Structure 1
Amino acid sequence: MNDIARPKAILFDLDDTLWPIGPVIAEAERALHAWLAEHAPKVAQTFTIEELRARRMALLAEKPEHHLDLIGLRRAGLEAAFQHVGEDLARLDEAIKLFAAARNTVELYHDVLPGLQRLAEKVTLGSISNGNADLEVIGLAHHFKVSLAASRFGKAKPDPEIFLAACEALGVAPHETVYVGDDLRLDVEGAQKAGLKAVWMNRTGSTAHLEAGIVPDAICRDVGELIAWLEQQLAD
Protein backbone atom coordinates (compact mmCIF):
# COMPACT_ATOMS: atom_id res chain seq x y z
CA MET A 1 0.00 0.00 0.00
CA ASN A 2 1.50 3.38 -0.94
CA ASP A 3 1.56 6.35 1.43
CA ILE A 4 -1.28 8.23 -0.20
CA ALA A 5 -3.67 5.31 0.39
CA ARG A 6 -2.95 5.02 4.09
CA PRO A 7 -5.95 6.03 6.21
CA LYS A 8 -5.80 9.56 7.58
CA ALA A 9 -9.32 9.68 9.04
CA ILE A 10 -12.00 7.38 10.39
CA LEU A 11 -15.68 8.26 10.29
CA PHE A 12 -18.08 6.40 12.54
CA ASP A 13 -21.74 5.54 12.40
CA LEU A 14 -23.32 5.96 15.85
CA ASP A 15 -26.41 3.82 16.62
CA ASP A 16 -25.57 0.10 16.92
CA THR A 17 -21.92 0.89 16.19
CA LEU A 18 -20.91 2.80 19.32
CA TRP A 19 -23.91 1.78 21.45
CA PRO A 20 -26.93 -0.53 21.11
CA ILE A 21 -29.96 1.52 20.09
CA GLY A 22 -32.86 -0.97 20.23
CA PRO A 23 -33.18 -1.07 24.04
CA VAL A 24 -32.77 2.72 24.20
CA ILE A 25 -35.63 3.39 21.77
CA ALA A 26 -37.84 0.80 23.49
CA GLU A 27 -37.30 2.46 26.88
CA ALA A 28 -37.79 5.94 25.41
CA GLU A 29 -41.11 4.85 23.89
CA ARG A 30 -42.23 3.37 27.22
CA ALA A 31 -41.31 6.60 29.00
CA LEU A 32 -43.16 8.64 26.40
CA HIS A 33 -46.29 6.50 26.63
CA ALA A 34 -46.26 6.79 30.43
CA TRP A 35 -45.98 10.57 30.05
CA LEU A 36 -48.88 10.55 27.58
CA ALA A 37 -51.00 8.56 30.03
CA GLU A 38 -50.59 11.39 32.53
CA HIS A 39 -50.52 14.49 30.35
CA ALA A 40 -52.38 13.50 27.15
CA PRO A 41 -54.48 10.57 28.37
CA LYS A 42 -56.76 10.35 25.35
CA VAL A 43 -53.74 9.56 23.17
CA ALA A 44 -52.46 6.86 25.53
CA GLN A 45 -55.92 5.35 25.92
CA THR A 46 -56.54 5.26 22.17
CA PHE A 47 -53.14 4.11 20.92
CA THR A 48 -50.67 1.55 22.26
CA ILE A 49 -46.93 1.97 21.69
CA GLU A 50 -47.20 -0.51 18.82
CA GLU A 51 -50.13 1.34 17.25
CA LEU A 52 -48.31 4.67 17.43
CA ARG A 53 -45.32 3.00 15.77
CA ALA A 54 -47.50 1.54 13.00
CA ARG A 55 -49.07 4.94 12.33
CA ARG A 56 -45.58 6.47 12.19
CA MET A 57 -44.38 3.88 9.68
CA ALA A 58 -47.48 4.49 7.57
CA LEU A 59 -46.70 8.20 7.61
CA LEU A 60 -43.13 7.47 6.53
CA ALA A 61 -44.40 5.36 3.63
CA GLU A 62 -46.69 8.21 2.62
CA LYS A 63 -44.00 10.89 3.02
CA PRO A 64 -40.59 9.23 2.60
CA GLU A 65 -38.83 12.57 3.01
CA HIS A 66 -39.31 12.04 6.76
CA HIS A 67 -36.47 9.49 6.72
CA LEU A 68 -34.08 12.46 6.88
CA ASP A 69 -35.40 13.49 10.30
CA LEU A 70 -36.67 10.69 12.52
CA ILE A 71 -37.49 13.03 15.40
CA GLY A 72 -39.47 15.12 12.95
CA LEU A 73 -41.26 11.95 11.86
CA ARG A 74 -42.07 11.11 15.47
CA ARG A 75 -43.35 14.61 16.06
CA ALA A 76 -45.56 14.46 12.96
CA GLY A 77 -46.95 11.10 14.06
CA LEU A 78 -47.70 12.35 17.56
CA GLU A 79 -49.26 15.54 16.21
CA ALA A 80 -51.63 13.46 14.08
CA ALA A 81 -52.52 11.30 17.09
CA PHE A 82 -53.15 14.38 19.26
CA GLN A 83 -55.39 15.85 16.60
CA HIS A 84 -57.22 12.56 16.09
CA VAL A 85 -58.35 12.39 19.73
CA GLY A 86 -58.58 16.12 20.40
CA GLU A 87 -55.66 16.49 22.80
CA ASP A 88 -53.97 19.85 23.39
CA LEU A 89 -51.17 20.34 20.83
CA ALA A 90 -49.49 22.73 23.26
CA ARG A 91 -48.17 19.65 25.11
CA LEU A 92 -46.43 18.30 22.01
CA ASP A 93 -43.11 20.09 22.56
CA GLU A 94 -42.85 18.67 26.07
CA ALA A 95 -43.54 15.17 24.79
CA ILE A 96 -40.82 15.39 22.14
CA LYS A 97 -38.35 16.87 24.64
CA LEU A 98 -38.95 13.96 26.99
CA PHE A 99 -38.47 11.40 24.22
CA ALA A 100 -35.28 13.09 22.98
CA ALA A 101 -33.77 13.06 26.46
CA ALA A 102 -34.55 9.37 26.86
CA ARG A 103 -33.27 8.61 23.36
CA ASN A 104 -29.88 10.07 24.30
CA THR A 105 -29.56 7.99 27.47
CA VAL A 106 -27.29 5.44 25.81
CA GLU A 107 -24.81 2.95 27.22
CA LEU A 108 -21.63 2.74 25.16
CA TYR A 109 -20.16 -0.61 24.23
CA HIS A 110 -17.29 -1.25 26.61
CA ASP A 111 -14.62 -0.94 23.92
CA VAL A 112 -15.73 2.46 22.60
CA LEU A 113 -14.17 5.04 24.93
CA PRO A 114 -10.70 3.48 25.20
CA GLY A 115 -10.84 2.69 21.49
CA LEU A 116 -11.66 6.26 20.45
CA GLN A 117 -8.86 7.57 22.64
CA ARG A 118 -6.33 5.22 21.01
CA LEU A 119 -7.58 5.90 17.50
CA ALA A 120 -7.32 9.65 18.01
CA GLU A 121 -3.57 9.21 18.48
CA LYS A 122 -3.31 7.75 14.97
CA VAL A 123 -5.95 9.40 12.76
CA THR A 124 -8.57 12.16 12.73
CA LEU A 125 -12.04 11.07 13.84
CA GLY A 126 -15.51 12.10 12.70
CA SER A 127 -19.06 10.75 12.56
CA ILE A 128 -21.98 10.51 10.16
CA SER A 129 -25.43 9.44 11.33
CA ASN A 130 -28.92 9.09 9.92
CA GLY A 131 -30.23 9.15 13.50
CA ASN A 132 -30.84 11.89 16.03
CA ALA A 133 -28.25 11.21 18.69
CA ASP A 134 -26.98 14.36 20.41
CA LEU A 135 -23.25 13.81 20.91
CA GLU A 136 -23.00 16.80 23.27
CA VAL A 137 -25.63 15.31 25.56
CA ILE A 138 -24.11 11.84 25.32
CA GLY A 139 -20.65 13.25 26.06
CA LEU A 140 -18.80 12.10 22.93
CA ALA A 141 -18.75 15.28 20.82
CA HIS A 142 -15.18 16.19 21.77
CA HIS A 143 -13.86 12.96 20.25
CA PHE A 144 -14.93 13.97 16.73
CA LYS A 145 -13.56 16.81 14.62
CA VAL A 146 -16.63 16.67 12.37
CA SER A 147 -20.10 15.21 13.00
CA LEU A 148 -22.74 15.21 10.28
CA ALA A 149 -26.39 14.29 10.87
CA ALA A 150 -28.73 13.61 7.97
CA SER A 151 -31.46 15.76 9.52
CA ARG A 152 -29.23 18.84 9.37
CA PHE A 153 -27.23 18.02 6.24
CA GLY A 154 -30.29 17.26 4.12
CA LYS A 155 -29.02 13.99 2.65
CA ALA A 156 -28.88 10.60 4.35
CA LYS A 157 -26.67 7.55 3.98
CA PRO A 158 -26.17 5.83 1.58
CA ASP A 159 -26.21 9.04 -0.50
CA PRO A 160 -22.56 9.69 -1.41
CA GLU A 161 -22.92 13.42 -0.75
CA ILE A 162 -22.96 13.06 3.03
CA PHE A 163 -19.79 10.91 2.97
CA LEU A 164 -18.01 13.30 0.62
CA ALA A 165 -19.05 16.33 2.68
CA ALA A 166 -17.59 14.76 5.81
CA CYS A 167 -14.32 14.03 4.01
CA GLU A 168 -14.16 17.61 2.76
CA ALA A 169 -14.85 18.97 6.24
CA LEU A 170 -12.04 16.81 7.63
CA GLY A 171 -9.67 17.89 4.86
CA VAL A 172 -9.02 14.35 3.61
CA ALA A 173 -9.67 12.57 0.33
CA PRO A 174 -12.29 9.80 0.25
CA HIS A 175 -9.66 7.12 -0.47
CA GLU A 176 -7.76 8.25 2.64
CA THR A 177 -10.85 7.80 4.78
CA VAL A 178 -12.40 4.77 6.48
CA TYR A 179 -16.07 4.55 7.37
CA VAL A 180 -17.12 2.22 10.19
CA GLY A 181 -20.72 1.13 10.64
CA ASP A 182 -23.05 -1.76 11.38
CA ASP A 183 -25.38 -1.50 8.38
CA LEU A 184 -24.18 -3.27 5.24
CA ARG A 185 -26.20 -1.19 2.79
CA LEU A 186 -26.19 2.25 4.40
CA ASP A 187 -22.68 2.14 5.85
CA VAL A 188 -20.52 -0.33 3.95
CA GLU A 189 -21.96 -0.15 0.44
CA GLY A 190 -22.73 3.56 0.78
CA ALA A 191 -19.20 4.45 1.87
CA GLN A 192 -17.54 2.29 -0.78
CA LYS A 193 -19.63 3.84 -3.54
CA ALA A 194 -18.44 7.26 -2.34
CA GLY A 195 -14.82 6.11 -2.64
CA LEU A 196 -14.11 5.44 1.04
CA LYS A 197 -12.87 2.23 2.58
CA ALA A 198 -15.58 0.61 4.69
CA VAL A 199 -15.30 -1.49 7.82
CA TRP A 200 -18.32 -3.49 8.87
CA MET A 201 -18.74 -3.36 12.66
CA ASN A 202 -20.24 -6.82 13.06
CA ARG A 203 -20.56 -7.29 16.81
CA THR A 204 -22.83 -10.34 16.51
CA GLY A 205 -20.79 -12.51 14.13
CA SER A 206 -23.46 -12.27 11.42
CA THR A 207 -22.78 -13.64 7.92
CA ALA A 208 -25.32 -11.32 6.29
CA HIS A 209 -22.66 -9.82 4.03
CA LEU A 210 -22.36 -13.11 2.19
CA GLU A 211 -26.06 -13.19 1.37
CA ALA A 212 -26.07 -9.48 0.46
CA GLY A 213 -23.07 -9.82 -1.83
CA ILE A 214 -21.33 -6.90 -0.09
CA VAL A 215 -17.58 -7.16 0.55
CA PRO A 216 -16.37 -4.86 3.34
CA ASP A 217 -12.71 -3.81 3.36
CA ALA A 218 -12.59 -5.34 6.84
CA ILE A 219 -14.95 -6.93 9.35
CA CYS A 220 -14.43 -6.14 13.04
CA ARG A 221 -16.26 -7.31 16.14
CA ASP A 222 -15.19 -4.32 18.24
CA VAL A 223 -13.05 -1.21 18.22
CA GLY A 224 -10.04 -3.22 19.41
CA GLU A 225 -10.12 -5.25 16.19
CA LEU A 226 -10.57 -2.03 14.22
CA ILE A 227 -7.40 -0.63 15.82
CA ALA A 228 -5.47 -3.78 14.94
CA TRP A 229 -6.67 -3.53 11.32
CA LEU A 230 -5.80 0.16 11.14
CA GLU A 231 -2.31 -0.43 12.51
CA GLN A 232 -1.74 -2.99 9.77
CA GLN A 233 -2.91 -0.50 7.13
CA LEU A 234 -0.58 2.16 8.48
CA ALA A 235 2.36 -0.26 8.59
CA ASP A 236 1.99 -1.56 5.03
Structure 2
Amino acid sequence: MNQLPIKALLFDLDDTLWPIVPVIVRAETILHDWLRRHAPAVAQDHSIETMRARRLEILAAEPRYKVDLVGLRHAGLTEAFHASGADPVHVDGAMAIFNTARNAVTPYDDVLPSLLRLGGRVALGTISNGSADLDTIGLAGHFRISIAAHQFGTAKPDAAIFHAACSALEVDPAETVYVGDDPLLDVVGAQQAGLRAVWMNRFSRTLPDHVRPDASCVSLLELEHWLEHRIILAPAPIAR
Protein backbone atom coordinates (compact mmCIF):
# COMPACT_ATOMS: atom_id res chain seq x y z
CA MET A 1 0.00 0.00 0.00
CA ASN A 2 1.36 3.40 -0.95
CA GLN A 3 1.85 5.75 1.96
CA LEU A 4 1.10 9.44 1.80
CA PRO A 5 4.07 11.84 1.76
CA ILE A 6 5.02 13.10 5.19
CA LYS A 7 3.98 16.68 5.85
CA ALA A 8 4.57 16.88 9.61
CA LEU A 9 6.74 15.55 12.40
CA LEU A 10 5.56 15.53 16.01
CA PHE A 11 8.01 15.00 18.85
CA ASP A 12 7.87 13.76 22.39
CA LEU A 13 10.11 15.85 24.68
CA ASP A 14 11.56 14.12 27.76
CA ASP A 15 14.13 11.42 26.86
CA THR A 16 13.56 12.18 23.18
CA LEU A 17 15.01 15.69 22.88
CA TRP A 18 16.88 15.70 26.22
CA PRO A 19 17.58 13.31 29.13
CA ILE A 20 15.05 13.83 31.92
CA VAL A 21 16.04 11.62 34.88
CA PRO A 22 19.10 13.65 35.95
CA VAL A 23 17.05 16.84 35.53
CA ILE A 24 14.29 15.61 37.85
CA VAL A 25 16.80 14.32 40.40
CA ARG A 26 18.54 17.70 40.45
CA ALA A 27 15.24 19.62 40.57
CA GLU A 28 13.97 17.59 43.53
CA THR A 29 17.28 18.11 45.35
CA ILE A 30 17.12 21.87 44.77
CA LEU A 31 13.52 21.89 45.97
CA HIS A 32 14.34 19.98 49.14
CA ASP A 33 17.24 22.34 49.90
CA TRP A 34 14.81 25.25 49.47
CA LEU A 35 12.36 23.59 51.85
CA ARG A 36 15.10 23.29 54.49
CA ARG A 37 15.46 27.06 54.43
CA HIS A 38 11.85 28.17 53.94
CA ALA A 39 9.78 25.32 55.42
CA PRO A 40 12.15 23.35 57.67
CA ALA A 41 9.37 21.29 59.26
CA VAL A 42 8.37 19.96 55.83
CA ALA A 43 11.96 19.08 54.92
CA GLN A 44 12.44 17.36 58.27
CA ASP A 45 9.23 15.32 58.08
CA HIS A 46 9.31 14.44 54.39
CA SER A 47 12.30 13.23 52.39
CA ILE A 48 12.53 13.31 48.61
CA GLU A 49 11.80 9.59 48.60
CA THR A 50 8.75 9.71 50.87
CA MET A 51 7.23 12.60 48.93
CA ARG A 52 7.79 10.69 45.70
CA ALA A 53 6.11 7.61 47.16
CA ARG A 54 3.19 9.71 48.39
CA ARG A 55 2.69 11.20 44.91
CA LEU A 56 2.37 7.67 43.54
CA GLU A 57 -0.29 6.93 46.15
CA ILE A 58 -2.17 10.09 45.25
CA LEU A 59 -1.94 9.19 41.57
CA ALA A 60 -3.35 5.72 42.23
CA ALA A 61 -6.25 7.20 44.18
CA GLU A 62 -6.90 10.06 41.75
CA PRO A 63 -6.16 8.98 38.15
CA ARG A 64 -7.01 12.49 36.89
CA TYR A 65 -3.46 13.45 37.81
CA LYS A 66 -2.14 11.22 35.01
CA VAL A 67 -2.79 14.18 32.73
CA ASP A 68 -1.64 16.79 35.24
CA LEU A 69 1.78 16.05 36.70
CA VAL A 70 2.12 19.68 37.75
CA GLY A 71 -1.09 19.40 39.72
CA LEU A 72 0.07 16.10 41.22
CA ARG A 73 3.28 17.64 42.56
CA HIS A 74 1.36 20.65 43.87
CA ALA A 75 -1.11 18.35 45.63
CA GLY A 76 1.72 16.35 47.21
CA LEU A 77 3.45 19.47 48.45
CA THR A 78 0.22 20.95 49.80
CA GLU A 79 -0.49 17.77 51.73
CA ALA A 80 3.06 17.70 53.14
CA PHE A 81 2.82 21.32 54.25
CA HIS A 82 -0.46 20.69 56.05
CA ALA A 83 0.83 17.49 57.65
CA SER A 84 3.87 19.35 59.02
CA GLY A 85 1.90 22.38 60.21
CA ALA A 86 3.73 24.65 57.75
CA ASP A 87 2.14 27.66 56.09
CA PRO A 88 0.82 26.47 52.68
CA VAL A 89 1.32 29.98 51.33
CA HIS A 90 4.84 28.80 50.46
CA VAL A 91 3.65 25.93 48.22
CA ASP A 92 3.52 28.12 45.12
CA GLY A 93 7.05 29.36 45.84
CA ALA A 94 8.21 25.77 46.17
CA MET A 95 6.60 24.90 42.85
CA ALA A 96 8.30 27.84 41.17
CA ILE A 97 11.68 26.65 42.44
CA PHE A 98 11.03 23.13 41.17
CA ASN A 99 9.72 24.28 37.78
CA THR A 100 12.74 26.49 37.16
CA ALA A 101 15.09 23.59 37.83
CA ARG A 102 12.90 21.14 35.90
CA ASN A 103 13.24 23.30 32.78
CA ALA A 104 17.02 23.56 33.04
CA VAL A 105 17.46 20.83 30.45
CA THR A 106 20.31 20.29 28.01
CA PRO A 107 19.14 19.07 24.59
CA TYR A 108 21.09 16.25 23.00
CA ASP A 109 23.78 17.48 20.62
CA ASP A 110 21.82 16.41 17.54
CA VAL A 111 18.60 18.25 18.45
CA LEU A 112 19.20 21.84 17.37
CA PRO A 113 20.93 21.04 14.05
CA SER A 114 18.27 18.50 13.11
CA LEU A 115 15.36 20.75 14.06
CA LEU A 116 16.82 23.53 11.94
CA ARG A 117 17.14 21.25 8.94
CA LEU A 118 13.80 19.48 9.37
CA GLY A 119 11.92 22.69 10.07
CA GLY A 120 12.72 23.91 6.58
CA ARG A 121 11.07 20.87 5.01
CA VAL A 122 8.10 19.83 7.14
CA ALA A 123 5.85 21.25 9.84
CA LEU A 124 7.14 20.45 13.33
CA GLY A 125 5.20 20.12 16.56
CA THR A 126 5.33 18.49 19.98
CA ILE A 127 3.03 16.44 22.18
CA SER A 128 4.07 15.78 25.77
CA ASN A 129 2.59 14.24 28.89
CA GLY A 130 5.20 16.14 30.93
CA SER A 131 5.46 19.70 32.18
CA ALA A 132 8.37 21.07 30.16
CA ASP A 133 8.08 24.73 29.13
CA LEU A 134 9.54 25.13 25.65
CA ASP A 135 9.58 28.92 25.93
CA THR A 136 11.73 28.72 29.06
CA ILE A 137 13.93 26.05 27.52
CA GLY A 138 14.36 28.11 24.35
CA LEU A 139 13.05 25.65 21.78
CA ALA A 140 9.51 26.94 21.26
CA GLY A 141 10.44 28.78 18.08
CA HIS A 142 11.27 25.54 16.29
CA PHE A 143 7.71 24.21 16.54
CA ARG A 144 4.51 25.42 14.95
CA ILE A 145 2.38 23.88 17.70
CA SER A 146 3.02 22.31 21.09
CA ILE A 147 0.40 20.43 23.09
CA ALA A 148 0.86 19.50 26.76
CA ALA A 149 -1.44 16.95 28.34
CA HIS A 150 -2.07 19.02 31.48
CA GLN A 151 -3.39 21.86 29.32
CA PHE A 152 -5.22 19.72 26.76
CA GLY A 153 -7.03 17.49 29.24
CA THR A 154 -6.07 14.06 27.92
CA ALA A 155 -2.69 12.39 27.63
CA LYS A 156 -0.90 9.98 25.34
CA PRO A 157 -1.81 7.30 24.31
CA ASP A 158 -5.29 8.81 23.87
CA ALA A 159 -5.84 9.32 20.15
CA ALA A 160 -7.50 12.68 20.82
CA ILE A 161 -4.23 14.42 21.68
CA PHE A 162 -2.56 13.14 18.50
CA HIS A 163 -5.53 14.16 16.37
CA ALA A 164 -5.60 17.62 17.96
CA ALA A 165 -1.97 18.18 16.98
CA CYS A 166 -2.61 17.04 13.42
CA SER A 167 -5.64 19.33 13.17
CA ALA A 168 -3.64 22.27 14.48
CA LEU A 169 -1.03 21.66 11.77
CA GLU A 170 -3.75 21.08 9.15
CA VAL A 171 -2.38 17.67 8.20
CA ASP A 172 -3.91 14.21 8.07
CA PRO A 173 -2.67 11.68 10.67
CA ALA A 174 -1.53 9.48 7.77
CA GLU A 175 0.76 12.33 6.66
CA THR A 176 2.33 12.64 10.11
CA VAL A 177 5.13 10.88 11.97
CA TYR A 178 5.37 10.85 15.76
CA VAL A 179 8.82 10.47 17.32
CA GLY A 180 9.12 9.34 20.93
CA ASP A 181 10.92 7.04 23.37
CA ASP A 182 8.01 5.27 25.06
CA PRO A 183 6.94 2.07 23.25
CA LEU A 184 3.33 2.21 24.45
CA LEU A 185 2.55 5.91 24.89
CA ASP A 186 4.45 7.07 21.83
CA VAL A 187 4.69 4.19 19.36
CA VAL A 188 1.48 2.25 19.95
CA GLY A 189 -0.47 5.39 20.82
CA ALA A 190 0.55 7.19 17.63
CA GLN A 191 -0.05 4.19 15.40
CA GLN A 192 -3.50 3.56 16.86
CA ALA A 193 -4.31 7.21 16.11
CA GLY A 194 -3.37 6.67 12.45
CA LEU A 195 0.12 8.24 12.51
CA ARG A 196 3.40 6.59 11.68
CA ALA A 197 5.68 6.17 14.69
CA VAL A 198 9.44 6.28 15.08
CA TRP A 199 10.86 4.85 18.29
CA MET A 200 13.70 7.04 19.60
CA ASN A 201 15.91 4.53 21.39
CA ARG A 202 18.74 6.58 22.86
CA PHE A 203 19.30 4.15 25.76
CA SER A 204 19.72 0.76 24.02
CA ARG A 205 16.39 -0.50 25.33
CA THR A 206 14.48 -3.53 24.04
CA LEU A 207 11.01 -3.23 22.58
CA PRO A 208 8.14 -5.43 23.78
CA ASP A 209 7.49 -8.15 21.19
CA HIS A 210 4.10 -6.77 20.18
CA VAL A 211 5.35 -3.24 19.44
CA ARG A 212 6.28 -2.62 15.81
CA PRO A 213 7.41 0.96 15.13
CA ASP A 214 7.71 2.16 11.57
CA ALA A 215 11.38 2.80 12.35
CA SER A 216 13.78 2.75 15.28
CA CYS A 217 16.48 5.40 15.64
CA VAL A 218 19.15 6.24 18.19
CA SER A 219 19.41 9.91 17.21
CA LEU A 220 17.71 12.60 15.19
CA LEU A 221 20.46 12.19 12.61
CA GLU A 222 19.25 8.61 12.05
CA LEU A 223 15.71 9.94 11.88
CA GLU A 224 16.75 12.36 9.12
CA HIS A 225 18.42 9.51 7.25
CA TRP A 226 15.28 7.36 7.53
CA LEU A 227 13.10 10.21 6.30
CA GLU A 228 15.40 10.97 3.39
CA HIS A 229 15.76 7.41 2.15
CA ARG A 230 12.49 5.76 3.12
CA ILE A 231 9.95 8.57 2.80
CA ILE A 232 9.51 11.33 0.27
CA LEU A 233 9.12 14.49 2.32
CA ALA A 234 6.52 16.93 1.12
CA PRO A 235 7.29 20.66 1.12
CA ALA A 236 6.41 22.32 4.42
CA PRO A 237 3.22 24.42 4.33
CA ILE A 238 3.84 28.12 3.87
CA ALA A 239 3.02 30.10 6.99
CA ARG A 240 0.41 32.79 6.45
Relative to the length of structure 2, the TM-score reads 0.95
Aligned position for 1:167: 166
What residue is the counterpart of 1:90 in the other structure? 89
Q: Which amino acid aligns with 1:197?
A: R
User: Who is 1:221 aligned against?
Assistant: 218
Number of positions where the alignment pairs a residue of Structure 1 with one of Structure 2: 233
Q: In structure 2, the residue corresponding to 1:234 is in which secondary structure?
A: coil
Look up the match of 2:118. 119
3-state DSSP of counterpart to 1:116: helix
Question: For 2:203 and 2:51, how far apart are their aligned partners in 1?
Answer: 30
- 1:154 is aligned with what amino acid? G
Matched residue type, 2:232: L
Matches within 5 A, 1:70-219: 70-207=69-206, 209=207, 211-219=208-216
One-letter identity of the residue aligned with 2:65: H
**What secondary structure does 1:36 align onto?**
helix
- Aligned residues: percent identity? 57
1:205 CA displacement? 2.3
The one-letter code sitting in structure 1 at the alignment partner of 2:221 is G
User: What is the letter of the counterpart of residue 152 of structure 1?
Assistant: Q
Higher helix share: 1
1:28 Cα deviation (Å)? Answer: 0.3
**Residue number in structure 1 paired with 2:43:** 44
Q: CA deviation at 1:121?
A: 1.7
Aligned equivalents of 2:48, 2:175: Cα separation in 1: 44
Deviations 1:189-224 (A, max 9, x none): 0000000000000012222x2x34100000000000
Aligned to 1:57: 56
**TM-score normalised by structure 1 residue count:** 0.96
Distance 2:59 2:170 in 1: 35
Instruction: Spell out, residue by residue over 1:72-119, the C-alpha distance to the aligned partner (whole angstroms, 9 max, x if none).
Output: 100000000000010001111100000000000001001000010111
Q: Alpha-carbon deviation of 1:56?
A: 0.8
Secondary structure of the corresponding residue to residue 198 of structure 1: strand
Distance 1:53 1:212 in 2: 31
Structure 2: which amino acid aligns with 1:213? H
1:128-186 CA-to-partner distances (Å, cap 9, x unmatched) read 00000000000000000010000000010000000000000000000000000000000
Which letter maps to 1:90? V
**2:12 corresponds to:** 13
- What is the distance in 2 between the residues matched to 1:78 and 1:212? 39
Work out the CA distance in 1 between the residues paired with 2:228 and 2:119. Answer: 13
Structure 2: state its 5+ residue gaps: 234-240
Superposed CA deviations along residues 48-93 of structure 1, whole A, max 9, x for unmatched, are 1000100111111110101111111000000000000100011111
Name structure 1 gaps, 5 residues minimum: none
Letter in 2 for 1:234: I
Tell me which of 209, 223, 232 is aligned to 1:234: 232
Q: Partners in 1 of 2:203 and 2:22 — Cα distance?
A: 16
